[in-house]
Structure 1
Amino acid sequence: MMSGKHFKAHEVSCCIKYFIFGFNIIFWFLGVAFLAIGLWAWSEKGVLSNISSITDLGGFDPVWLFLVVGGVMFILGFAGCIGALRENSFLLKFFSVFLGIIFFLELTAGVLAFVFKDWIKDQLNFFINNNIRAYRDDIDLQNLIDFTQEYWECCGAFGADDWNLNIYFNCTDSNPSREKCGVPFSCCTKDPAEDVINTQCGYDIRAKTVSG
């Protein structure tokens, strides 16, 4: 009787062990993929050959998202895989504590965002304005802003006039850019019947608004 219970408990233990292993190896592979994409993007931009250029970008480099998320997934996946496969109590504890820390940080961030919502709003506006200034400085940042504006159907943080912060889109007399007093194409409302994106649809938009 005792041997039957022991066998059943051992069978359940094996199922949990290989379930955790299978879940974490997928997690680990995803982490490797995120890191590879991030490093490839930096390689394409020449950052790996000139590490000091990391600090040159005025706005946010989206590649950091891939590297940070990929790094965390890689570490967690590795600890979970090896810990489950080898039944290593240290790695399993590390895995559990790491997950607990991430959950605690997310909970803390949520509480702080609620308590200091005005400060968070100011910092968010500052962050968005910095990235508007750096719109043409980095292709990944440019694509991220365009995607965000298209997805949320918005233009800048507060409106189209936010693009006056960018040297290519501002309305100053000294601005020689063809995009002067305009907005990026991602601000435009798209016609479903059009198959080709009109990248010049934002030209002179704010100039027309002012004159009108």
Structure 2
Amino acid sequence: MDSCGLLCKYIICFFNLIFAALGIAFLGLGLWLRFGYNTRVIFETSILNSSTFVIGVTVLIVLGVVMLMVVMFGDYGACSGKKCALEVFSVLLFMLAVAEVVVGVLAYARRGEVGERVAEFYNSLYTLFVSTRDVGLGVTLVFIHNMLHCCGVTGIPLVELVQETCPAPSGFAEMIAMHTCPGVIRDFFNYNATMVMGFFVGLGALLITTLVATIILLKQLKKDLTSYAAQYSTVY
């Protein structure tokens, strides 16, 4: 295999390393939310706006499984030089790339509805934590609150039911009232829709880059196989 083929192989392995980490994170979070002692009740009863929560958790699980399947075919094909595995890998990459671009465009076109759905998902997590005080849910809320710099559904630290998960105020005004998380989520999708679309399109571009590397590697393997067959026929 020449230097170009080796470079493509390393690109595929690097991509799979990132994809495996994301797939494990999505699948682990989804399974925890689906089968956790304090969250599985949502899948058994129709409470807490559960439809949005259930859809979100299901998407996490399915996405995690698909990503790990892609990694499995990619690593096996790149490391063992199996054309069949690389062909399946390339098909899955193409489908994911198209899906990423479509999701990005739809998220941009329907940013108001998307923001509302994500805000409902947050409200479900919030309500669950208030009623159960589950440590895992608390860690999730801490991550969301610090990432968005918001505080629960009221934004008032003195009366907020999840005040212990809120970030430290950055000024005197925030000691009285901070931004509410559902409002921040809606505003984020309304005012940063272009950035959200760019993220999905950029991820799609990464997938296409890896797809190109896979196609080049497939051609390299085919060339090597043809060369080997020619040498074998000459000898015998």
Q: 1:12 aligns with which of 3, 7, 20?
A: 3
1:133 aligned residue: 127
Show structure 1 runs of 4+ deviating over 6 A. Answer: 61-66
Per-residue Cα deviation, 1:43-75 (whole angstroms, up to 9, x for no partner): x9569xxxx757259575998788555533421
1:143 to 139, 142, 158: 139
The aligned length equals 164
Rounded to whole Å, the distance in 2 between the matches of 1:108 and 1:28 is 19
1:55 matched to 2:46: no
Measured in 2, the distance between the counterparts of 1:76 and 1:119 equals 30
- TM (norm. structure 2) is 0.49
Q: Is the 8 A contact 1:149 1:156 kept in 2?
A: yes
For 1:102-150, what per-residue CA distance to the aligned partner results, in whole angstroms no more than 9, with x for missing partners? 2222211111111112222322232222222112434322211122113
Name the % identity: 20
Higher helix share: 2
| Gap runs ≥5 in structure 1 | 1-9, 164-178, 192-201, 207-212
Residue 183 of structure 1 corresponds to 161
Question: 1:26: how far off?
Answer: 4.0
Provide the residue aligned with 1:123 in structure 2: 117
Change (3 A) 1:17 1:140: same
Aligned residue in 1 for 2:98: 104
CA contact (8 A) 1:28 1:78 kept: no
Equivalence for 2:69 = 75
Residues 110 and 189 (structure 1 numbering): CA distance in 2 closer, same or farther, change over 3 Å? same
1:187 counterpart letter in structure 2: C
1:160 pairs with 2:155: yes
- Please tell me the residue identity of whatever aligns with 1:189: A
Larger RCO (CA within 8 A; separation ≥ 6)? 2
Q: Specify the SS of the correspondent of 2:152.
A: coil
Counterpart of 1:198 in structure 2 is none
Shift of 1:95: 0.9
Distance 1:22 1:188 in 2: 38
CA distance in 2 between partners of 1:104 and 1:40 (Å):
26
What letter corresponds to residue 75 of structure 2 in structure 1? C
Superposed CA RMSD = 4.5
| Equivalent in the alignment of 2:88 | 94
| SS in structure 2 of the partner of residue 154 of structure 1 | coil
Q: Is the 8 A contact 1:82 1:91 kept in 2?
A: yes
**2:160 partner letter:** G
Match of 1:171 in 2: none
Report the TM-score when normalising by structure 1.
Answer: 0.54
Cα pair 2:19 2:71 within 8 Å, conserved: yes
Contact 1:27-1:73 within 8 A present in 2 as well: no
The gaps in structure 2 that reach 5 residues or longer are 178-236
Amino acid at match of 1:160: G
